[in-house]
Structure 1
Amino acid sequence: MSIASPSPSPEPDAPSTGFRADPPSVQRFIDRFFEALAREGVREVVISPGSRSTPLAVAADRRPDLRTRVILDERSAGFFALGLARASQRPVALVCTSGTAAANYLPAIVEAHYSRIPLVVLTADRPPELRDWAAGQTIVQADLYARHCRWSVEVPVPAGGAGPLRYAAQLGSRAAARAAGRPAGVVHLNWPLREPLTPGPDAFPIRDMGAQASHLHFHTSTAESVSRPEDVEELVALARAHARGVICCGPMDMGPGLARSIDAFARASGWPVLADPASCLRQASQEGSDAPGAIHLDLADAFLRSERFRMSMRPDVVVRIGDVPVSKIQRLWIEASAPRHLWWLDEGEHWGDPSHRVTRVVRGGARSLLFEAAGALEDHSASMPAWREGFVRANRVARNVVSRSVGPEAEWFGLSVVARACACLPDGSMLYVSNSMPIRLLDLGLRNRPVPLRVLCNRGANGIDGVTSSALGAAAASGGPALLMTGDLAFLHDLGALAIPRHERIPLTILILDDNGGGIFSNLPIA
């Protein structure tokens, strides 16, 4: 398939306005931009084909260090790029033509913004002389995504000369760095492009760019290796003074370094870990109040439904890591417990505190903070083993109850399917799960494993659109065994995604949980 779909005849803007592009100059400018994107770590470009975006699509496709993927439907393309970026943890570029094509990216951009996924969105546009003159396929695209972007730029009409080329290189470097920064997010560049849109035969050869390449490099500090001494001292003091503590890990694609630091601190403090299904921390642990290892609890949503347990097991300290937990029961328990100390360790700028009870927010450096605190607690002997044992016992009872719900004769068929599917997945698998009922069933059905599954979910805006496209993108980036667990409504919302595998060989198994549309609504109080 062609990466661009130019019109069979020239569009009317060039002859009617007298403005014309110089194709070699335009291509040099855009080539320089994509060279900088690639240098800063972009490896994938998802293209929604169209006429106005031809120079952008051609420039991306000409680069050997960029992989271009063509997806016709913009909505599917946006979520596919989101899945690619989420799984690869690299910024991904999106390219589309002008008009409503750009508007169709909005749902994916909203999710990427709230999930802190790095996307560089390149929307082609009509040039200034055609805006607000009733020209076809022309809408207001400047600042189209408004507050859902980390950075939004109206790119000048590409031109030749040394100055514009330096600007193009810096623009590409800065766009990639802003998208991949902390927090990661969406960068939108709106490109006004004039006719003619196809590069001429004397366009700037890609192989000649090296001699004139800009050498601007951005070094974005991730703050992962930095922690404040006062935070370490305070956390250590809390662990020594309070035995009744818990570590709540919400949705977050935690790397092995952060996971090890959480384990080390949980072991040193004696506080149990309540692991969200999308925290990637559902890993087996030694059970028992005197167990030397960290205790990971995989059924908090089940045992916290006991009012007696909730009333008797109120924490004094809660350390939250990652986004807001999926389990509403867990959130209400923390709120009702009113802990004296509620810490939130986060890498971004979003304020994830809907109950307004957080007493301390630590931005960045969670891994080093937890490792250093664990090291300082080496001589600490966790008191009150009954606290740990209470959680272990409750988790064990809940496991027995859930196990009876997943057998061949189980009434709760959806939970049985989810639990069996998770048990069949080999180590190293990726599981993408839809919001609504699937993620809640997963909360009950995903058991601790020796090697935890990588579980991804669009929890930024908690919507059910674009799930299949997102999973296909993530599967394309991961390359290993991948399962999508989705509901029937979420699947129907994204039927356009089924066209993607026609052009991309992506290993993905789709499991549809059909509850006749919106089974979660039966759990509402009004039902």
Structure 2
Amino acid sequence: MISTKKHIQQLASLLLSKGIDDIIISPGSRNGPLTHTFAGSGKFNCRNIVDERSAAYFALGLAQAKQKPVAIVCSSGTASLNYAPAVAEAFYLNMPLIVLTADRPDYWIDQAESQCIRQEGIYQNFTKSAFSLPLGETEKELWFAAREINECLNTAINGTPAPVHINIPLEEPLHDLLDEKLPTVKNITQPDVAAYLVDSELKQIAETVNKAQKILVLAGQQVPNPDLENRLIELVEKTGAVVLKEHISNLNHTTFCSSIDTIMAAIHDGQSEDFAPDLLISLGGQYVSKSLKQFLRKNHPSNHWHLSLSNEHFDTYQSLTKVINMQPSDFIEQLLPKVSSNNRTYFSRWKEKEQQVNQLRDDLIGRTQYCDLTVFDELRKAIPQNSVIHLGNSSPVRYALICDPVKNTRYFSNRGTSGIDGPLSTAVGFASESEKLNTIILGDLSFFYDSNALWNNYLKENLRVIVINNRGGNIFSLIKGPSDSPAFQEHFFTENKFKAEGIAKTFELDYFKAENQQELREVLKDFYSPKQQKPALLEIFTDAELNTKMFRELFKIVKQC
């Protein structure tokens, strides 16, 4: 049984024609025609999540796991506003959410009608395309709507993926049904087209590469891409380029450099010229390291090329000279035959510095007291290889990037907007579709903020939640400024006296805890045991003051090398 609303019928048909069959529904009445059609047609994988904010982040994680668009469906009014944080995150992570919001007819907007707000264009800053379906169902209106839906859905997945929004005004009756199949609607396709450099441009680019003595490649956040990884290895071997990557870049080869923040701290003012590039090539999304950004803004390269399918003019380092509208792997593949071998002095300089700071880090961790730094080192050693790790924002992602990555493991994090509001929901959505073990590491404030992520029926036995409970927002102790304020304790650190055990029990997760190094080592064996066949939560208690002391001690030590 499907809705009698013809616009909804053809919307469902077009979604299917483009392979979009995952639907996350939040319950409501105004979106009844959508719910009836998606669930009643038997063609869609429908999931129900009550909290719209959590539902949208869940869809984001699901889209990451499947690497395809996921649709979210809500009722009218503030329900649609609750999607906004995840839509913004998806926009900056280049993930294609299809946002379907039910609405009242426009003649009721601003007329004191229930659940009525100005919904049209509410995500306009965070979507590639947005429009409202017409209310009428004449032949012309249906033709127009089908064309608009085709264009909107094609936009979501063509080029650089991103969210799109379709607002759907609906008149009563909302729940009339009929026993029919979905109609056949014309599917307008938009195939991907590969881009190549013309010979004259390729020659000029190759000449610049061959003249450069210090080539630095910044690989930002991205999904695993073996082809790109292989091309980057070839580029390093042939030119002596340095590739800087963080765990969320999902590049695993040992020829690349990580430990970025500690390396940056170890570069003295007198060494800046040795490490500053004359050619900078950036690709992918966000970089976590603030110190790297500051270093490159202070030491401008002569040339900065950004590789982007959507022509993004990312001038993050205030030195952008060229935007190249190509897949990074295609660009490097076309470039490699045209470049000559270069000396490896610059490469060796970076790798030697990386080895020095990593040794100092390991020495400190080996002799220090139990704190967040030692906790993340224990987690790194305990989390199984060939799994998936989701990193919460603020302290967790920074501690994780200080430590070596777990080998053969995929890393994800909501670094598009870097908020604390949806990492658990995103991880739950990802894990619901993944066959691998999924670990989410987040802080106590972030966990409590997003605890509704556990309020659904899609928690799988592969989910492991690790809450670092240092009883507040410890990130504000680590950065300059807030910790010196009289308002620090109440309004920055925001002391937390609660524990996660009750929430774990409420949502039927097995609960584990650790309050010292020995307990942590022992409990991690059970937490990651093959015998653990239920989703589980591990709460690790640490002392915020000691965390801050040892974090600052690490950077004090590496600055002396």
State the TM-score, normalized to the length of structure 2.
0.80
How many angstroms does 1:440 deviate by? 1.0
1:15 alignment partner in structure 2 = none
Deviation track 1:128-157 (CA, whole Å, cap 9, x = no partner) reads: 332222111111111112222211111112
1:289 alignment partner in structure 2 = none
1:170 alignment partner in structure 2 = 147
The one-letter amino acid of 2:256's match is H
2:523 alignment partner in structure 1 = none
SS at structure 2 position matched to 1:517: coil
1:392 paired residue among 324, 329, 351 = 351
The one-letter amino acid of 1:296's match is F
Q: Distance in 1 between matches of 2:28 and 2:338?
A: 59
Gaps of at least 5 residues in structure 1 are 1-22, 286-294
Gaps of at least 5 residues in structure 2 are 484-561
1:19 alignment partner in structure 2 = none
Using CA pairs under 8 Å that are at least 6 residues apart, name the structure with larger relative contact order, 1 or 2: 1
Query: In the superposition, relative to structure 1, how do residues 249 and 495 fare at CA in structure 2: closer, same or farther (>3 Å)?
Result: same
1:472 alignment partner in structure 2 = 428
How many angstroms does 1:158 deviate by? 5.2
How many angstroms does 1:104 deviate by? 0.8
Answer whether contact 1:476 1:506 (CA < 8 A) is retained: no
2:214 alignment partner in structure 1 = 244
1:444 paired residue among 381, 402, 415 = 402
Q: Distance in 2 between matches of 1:274 and 1:71?
A: 39
1:307 paired residue among 240, 263, 267 = 267
Give 1:7-406 correspondences, 5 Å limit: 25-26=4-5, 28-157=6-135, 159=137, 162-200=139-177, 203-206=178-181, 209=182, 213-221=184-192, 223=194, 226-281=196-251, 283-285=252-254, 295-308=255-268, 309-377=271-339, 380-383=340-343, 385-406=344-365
The one-letter amino acid of 1:263's match is I
- Of 352-361 and 421-430, the range deviating more from structure 2: 421-430
Q: Distance in 2 between matches of 1:66 and 1:111?
A: 25
Answer whether contact 2:420 2:446 (CA < 8 A) is retained: yes
Q: Distance in 2 between matches of 1:474 and 1:227?
A: 36
Query: In the superposition, relative to structure 1, how do residues 98 and 24 fare at CA in structure 2: closer, same or farther (>3 Å)?
Result: closer
Q: Distance in 1 between matches of 2:280 and 2:103?
A: 49
The one-letter amino acid of 1:513's match is I
The one-letter amino acid of 1:512's match is V
Deviation track 1:68-100 (CA, whole Å, cap 9, x = no partner) reads: 110000110011111112232211111000111
Root-mean-square deviation over aligned CA pairs: 2.3
The one-letter amino acid of 1:335's match is R
Query: In the superposition, relative to structure 1, how do residues 233 and 512 fare at CA in structure 2: closer, same or farther (>3 Å)?
Result: farther
Give 1:404-423 correspondences, 5 Å limit: 404-407=363-366, 409-411=367-369, 413-423=371-381
Report how many residues are paired.
480
Q: Distance in 2 between matches of 1:464 and 1:229?
A: 47
SS at structure 1 position matched to 2:36: helix
Q: Distance in 2 between matches of 1:258 and 1:454?
A: 15
1:4 alignment partner in structure 2 = none
The one-letter amino acid of 1:418's match is F
SS at structure 1 position matched to 2:20: coil
SS at structure 1 position matched to 2:28: coil
Q: Distance in 2 between matches of 1:355 and 1:284?
A: 26
Q: Distance in 2 between matches of 1:275 and 1:437?
A: 19
1:495 maps to 2:451: yes
1:290 alignment partner in structure 2 = none
The one-letter amino acid of 1:482's match is N
1:513 paired residue among 440, 455, 468 = 468
- Of 487-496 and 503-512, the range deviating more from structure 2: 503-512
The one-letter amino acid of 1:178's match is T
SS at structure 1 position matched to 2:167: strand
Deviation track 1:310-367 (CA, whole Å, cap 9, x = no partner) reads: 3432221111111242111211222222111111112335443233211111123321
Query: In the superposition, relative to structure 1, how do residues 410 and 331 fare at CA in structure 2: closer, same or farther (>3 Å)?
Result: same
Q: Distance in 1 between matches of 2:160 and 2:220?
A: 17
SS at structure 2 position matched to 1:94: strand
SS at structure 2 position matched to 1:51: coil
Q: Distance in 1 between matches of 2:245 and 2:421?
A: 25
SS at structure 1 position matched to 2:455: helix
The one-letter amino acid of 1:382's match is N
1:430 alignment partner in structure 2 = 388
Query: In the superposition, relative to structure 1, how do residues 118 and 228 fare at CA in structure 2: closer, same or farther (>3 Å)?
Result: farther
Q: Distance in 2 between matches of 1:374 and 1:436?
A: 38
2:438 alignment partner in structure 1 = 482
Report the identity percentage: 27
Deviation track 1:211-233 (CA, whole Å, cap 9, x = no partner) reads: x512323124264x544445533
Query: In the superposition, relative to structure 1, how do residues 504 and 386 fare at CA in structure 2: closer, same or farther (>3 Å)?
Result: closer
State the TM-score, normalized to the length of structure 1.
0.85
- Of 131-140 and 56-65, the range deviating more from structure 2: 56-65
SS at structure 1 position matched to 2:203: helix
The one-letter amino acid of 1:216's match is N
Answer whether contact 1:166 1:214 (CA < 8 A) is retained: no
Q: Distance in 1 between matches of 2:371 and 2:417?
A: 28
Q: Distance in 2 between matches of 1:35 and 1:465?
A: 34
Answer whether contact 1:324 1:352 (CA < 8 A) is retained: no
Q: Distance in 2 between matches of 1:174 and 1:462?
A: 30
How many angstroms does 1:191 deviate by? 0.8
SS at structure 2 position matched to 1:114: helix
Deviation track 1:419-474 (CA, whole Å, cap 9, x = no partner) reads: 3323333343211111211111121113373x3x2211111111111111111112
2:477 alignment partner in structure 1 = 522
How many angstroms does 1:247 deviate by? 1.2
The one-letter amino acid of 1:173's match is N
Q: Distance in 2 between matches of 1:519 and 1:425?
A: 23
SS at structure 1 position matched to 2:232: helix
Answer whether contact 1:91 1:176 (CA < 8 A) is retained: no
Query: In the superposition, relative to structure 1, how do residues 173 and 249 fare at CA in structure 2: closer, same or farther (>3 Å)?
Result: same
Q: Distance in 1 between matches of 2:463 and 2:243?
A: 31
